[in-house]
Structure 1
Amino acid sequence: MSKMTEQKADQTLRDSASQVTEHDIETVLTKEQEIKQKVRGSGTLQMYLDAVLSMYALIKAYWQGEYREIPWFTIAAIVAALLYVFNPMDFFPDMLPVVGLIDDAMVIATCVKLVKQDFAKFERWQRSPESPSGSRDPEV
């Protein structure tokens, strides 16, 4: 069995992000609870719960037109990563013990690394007075 490497996760994410559409954003938003539940319910993915919550906060702010100071690649990479987590038949099918969610975790980690600066800017904006949420934390 081939293994998921950081380079494979990066390439998978970039390839998928290049194909993301607005319909994919809608899909990710409608699957929010299922994706969050999958992350919460997995020891492997659990450590990325805060990142997934931040991803959803950013996507919602973008989709609602509240925050648009973000490159399309960042939105596309986040959507691609969340769709990857949602897909049970990805690089390693989720039903495989132990390794089934490792690729999901690697894709999320790679996404966070790729968009780290944009996340930081978004989080500063969230805490600013011009944000609709003011200084509130993202919804958990």
Structure 2
Amino acid sequence: MALFSQKNARKQLDEEAGKVNRADLETLLDRQQAIEAKVKGSGKLKRFSADIKLMFSMLRDYWNGSYRDIPWKTIAAVAGALLYVMNPLDFIPDLIVGIGFVDDVGVVALCLKLVESDLHKYAAWKELNDEVTQSTQAD
């Protein structure tokens, strides 16, 4: 049996997402740099760096009210996954060299799979919004 399976990842993600409230978004946004640094230094999680930055961008735009075309369950899943990554003493403690981030990878990968279409919609909105902002500033 695998040390950390997709079933375990779903259970952990569901638990974290079920506990997420709006105050948790503020905590996550305040800890963004620390979480991104952890991801870059983790090896296994590093391949998700761009996705995690996009997740944070989506959470920030949701938080400040500029992007609300997204279900709360997606916001909660993303926040839950990031809160899970933030916790060093999760299912497999991050301190265990070699396997400490296996569970974090599983939770982030599952989250990305579950929210993929909403994340793509957000990325398209963000790109269009950035283009409009740049065009307005150039005038």
Q: Indicate whether the TM-score tops 0.5.
A: yes
Matches within 5 A, 1:1-140: 3-128=3-128, 131=129, 133-134=130-131
Unpaired segments ≥5 residues, structure 1: none
Residues 74, 118 of structure 2: 8 Å contact kept: yes
TM-fit CA distance, 1:15: 2.1
- Counterparts of 2:112 and 2:85 in 1: how far apart (Å)? 14
**Superposed structure 1 runs of 4+ greater than 6 Å apart:** none
Q: Please give the alpha-carbon distance, in whole angstroms, between the structure 2 residues aligned to 1:74 and 1:108.
A: 13
Distance 1:44 1:64, change over 3 A: same
Please say which structure displays the higher CA radius of gyration: 2
1:67-117 CA-to-partner distances (Å, cap 9, x unmatched) read 000000000011111110010000000010111011011111011000000
User: Could you tell me how far 1:134 is from its partner in structure 2?
Assistant: 2.8
- Classify 1:55/1:87 alpha carbon distance in 2 versus 1 (closer, same or farther; 3 Å): same
**Residues 108 and 66 of structure 1, relative CA distance in 2, 3 Å threshold:** same
Q: Is the 8 A contact 1:126 1:135 kept in 2?
A: no
TM-score (normalised: structure 1): 0.90
Which amino acid letter does the alignment assign opposite residue 45 of structure 2? Answer: L
Structure (1 or 2) with the greater helix fraction: 2
- Indicate the SS of the match to 1:47: helix
Aligned length: 132
Q: Within 1, Cα distance between the matches of 2:24 and 2:39?
A: 19
> Percent identity over the alignment?
39
Tell me, in whole angstroms, the C-alpha distance in 2 between the residues paired with 1:135 and 1:111. Answer: 30
Aligned AA (1:95):
L
Q: Report the RMSD for the aligned CA atoms in angstroms.
A: 1.4
Q: Which amino acid aligns with 1:120?
A: H
**CA distance 1:62–1:87, shift in 2 (3 Å):** same
